[in-house]
Amino acid sequence: MPTADDLDQARALIVDGTLVPCWDWKHEPGLYSGKHHRAGPGLQVACTLAGRLVWVSDPAPGSTHDAKALQLTGLLDNFPDTPPLGDEGCIGPGMTTPIRKPPGGEPVDRQKQYNKIISSSRAPIERAIAQLKTRRTLHTGYRRPLHTFPQTITAVTALQFPKNSFE
């Protein structure tokens, strides 16, 4: 499986985060995601503009915000000239993202058009995540011991990469 250092810096990428649900492990702090109202680790996923999966991060606690989790992976350090495309959750780290609505107002038409282009360009990452989660292990609540979760995620994502090589 490729690491963040193995990726081609000249290639444009789309990045998004996803939660991989597991049972509510009360003894494990930080797994509960307030955004999703579920427990589980979060993954950062990158794909090409064509939707080919190229990278999946190590799991982070589900309570970690996507922008912070992405910075912890080191992926953004490898793309200083071509920042990846992201959603509104990653506005801070210097990625190409939609423009937030100004406080107490509405975005102007130019900003709305820009946001529409960015949002429609992000469709391939949503499909890549959906394809990754077609493996029931990452879609349903994980029931095995929590310390085995990183190895399971690695195995499932490794199964996805050979599939991408034939597309």
Interval 114-140: pLDDT, tens: 989 988 899 999 998 888 888 776 767
13, two tokens:
């990428």
Tens of pLDDT, residues 69-81: 888 888 888 887 7
**Alpha helices, H only, the chain:** 66-73, 109-121, 123-132, 136-139, 149-165
In sequence order, the β-bridge partners of residue 13 are: 48
**Residue 166's pLDDT is what?**
47
Structure tokens at 16: 């998004």
Q: Assess whether pLDDT exceeds 70 at residue 155.
A: yes
Distances (CA, A) of 106 to 87, 89, 102, 111: 19, 19, 6, 10
- As a dihedral over the C-alpha atoms of residue 45, residue 72, residue 78, residue 162, rounded to 10 degrees, the angle is -30
Average pLDDT over residues 23-45: 79
The more confident residue out of 10 and 99 is 99
- Reported confidence tier of residue 86, pLDDT bands at 50, 70, 90: confident
Work out the pLDDT band at 164, boundaries 50, 70, 90: low
The rounded distance, in Å, linking the Cα atoms of 11 and 3 is: 15
pTM, entire model: 0.82
Q: Which residues pair with 44 in a beta bridge?
A: 17
